[in-house]
Amino acid sequence: MIISVAVTEPLLLNDVALTPPVALAPLAGITDLPFRQLVAGFGAGWVVSEMVASQEMVQAKPGVRERAELGYDQEGTAVQIAGREAYWMAEAAKMAAGNGAAIIDINMGCPAKKVTNGYSGSALLRTPDHALDLIAAVVNAVDVPVTLKTRLGWDDDCLNAADVARRAEDAGIKLVTIHGRTRCQFYKGSADWAAIRKIKDAVSIPVIANGDIVDAATAREALRLSGADGVMIGRGAQGRPWVLAQVSAALHGTPEPTIPQGADLIDMVCGHYEAMLSFYGHELGRKVSRKHLGWYMDDAGTTPALRKAILTHATPADVLRDLPEALDLQVAA
């Protein structure tokens, strides 16, 4: 028997309240504005924007603002920035806060080579003194709360997240999210939720557990092993934008979400598709939407032939015509 525990105290970052403590992780090319709005509509404590490179953001290089629409005016949104130079990190934070961002999140967890080769993301775990310079620059540049997302360490010989988190708290970080893997693991193996407890024990600020959390059962186990104050869900929300609300309901007594099925599911997926077309434009939107449509159809049990046809259709009208048939096989999640 699962017993729900009501949330009585929100996580408070200055005057920003985060409740329930279940958040959507930033995923490049996935958690764009249309998807974040969809997830938030079902129910989430907060969502985090796609990572945006600080220098490119400030210099407004083509495509950056269009790709990473940051949702400044969206309640419960943290804007995530990355970089390797204190000046650009501080300027990006000031720009985001000046445009209305309620929370600034610093990325020190991205394992992608194109990021770490630029000495950003999780590469900063190899140079903690430099990382702390960046953190201090961002904290000192803005009045809004600044949070940090990172990993256990660079590799098994460099498990320094606890020390980094402690120093980050001293520098003014208000919350830290830990993905339970090292950078060199990327997404292989299993997230080590128990290892997050060392970080929790090192700081007094809230700690959020991340990695391999896909439902209420894994969220509950991650909290038990880590002692964390909340969870962050990333890949588990792909094709299931309601999963954060399900976890919140099971663990914290929030209202149980209605999982769309039948005509409601078709309306939701078609609405998400049209929102992506509107956000990106038809040409880019058709391409970006394919991964999301694929996840929805995988969950629905769409036949391979129909799935392939929809993902290769040349026009949005053709996609919208065939989606009802593709999703009609949906069963209760």
pLDDT tens digits, residue range 199-249? 999 999 999 999 999 999 999 999 999 999 999 999 999 999 999 999 999
Q: If pLDDT is split at 50, 70 and 90, which confidence band does 119 have?
A: low
Q: If pLDDT is split at 50, 70 and 90, which confidence band does 109 have?
A: confident
pLDDT at residue 166 above 50?
A: yes
Identify the CATH class of 14-252: alpha beta
pLDDT at residue 1 above 50?
A: no
Q: Which two tokens stand for residue 195?
A: 């290892």
For tokens 């120093």, what's the residue? 167
pLDDT at residue 333 above 50?
A: no
Residue % of the chain over a pLDDT of 70: 90
pLDDT at 121: 76
Q: Which two tokens stand for residue 315?
A: 């026009």
pLDDT at residue 280 above 70?
A: yes
Higher-pLDDT residue of 72, 274: 274
For the four alpha carbons of 93, 98, 99 and 101, in that order, the dihedral sign comes to positive
Q: If pLDDT is split at 50, 70 and 90, which confidence band does 155 have?
A: confident
pLDDT at residue 2 above 60?
A: no
Rounded Cα distance, 121 and 94, in Å:
20
Rounded Cα distance, 74 and 138, in Å:
21
> Binding site for FMN, residues?
80, 149, 179, 234-235
pLDDT at residue 3 above 50?
A: no
The pLDDT of 109-115, averaged and rounded, is: 71
pLDDT at 23: 97
The pLDDT of 72-91, averaged and rounded, is: 89
pLDDT at residue 159 above 80?
A: yes
Among the ranges given (49-63, 181-195, 212-226, 280-294), the one the predictor scored with the smallest mean pLDDT: 49-63
User: In terms of pTM, does the model score above 0.85?
Assistant: yes
pLDDT at residue 19 above 80?
A: yes
Contacts of 28 (CB under 8 A, 6+ apart): 50, 51, 110, 112
Region of residue 211 (left: phi > 0; alpha: psi -120 to 50; beta: else): left
Helices (H), 28-127: 33-42, 54-59, 64-67, 86-98, 113-116
pLDDT one-digit tens code per residue, 85-108: 999 999 999 999 988 889 999 998
Higher-pLDDT residue of 282, 109: 282
pLDDT at residue 330 above 50?
A: no
Which amino acid would we find at residue 268? M
pLDDT at 158: 80
Catalytic residues: 110
Residue % of the chain over a pLDDT of 90: 72
pLDDT at 136: 97
Contacts of 162 (CB under 8 A, 6+ apart): 198, 199, 201, 202
Average pLDDT, the chain: 89
Pairing mode of beta strands 207-210, 52-53: unpaired
What does the buried/exposed string (b/e) look like for 177-213 if buried means 16 or more CB atoms within 10 Å of the residue's CB? bbbbbbbbbeeeeebbbebbbbbbebbebbbbbbbbb
pLDDT at residue 51 above 60?
A: yes
pLDDT at 156: 78
254 burial level (CB within 10 Å; 0-12, 13-18, 19+): buried
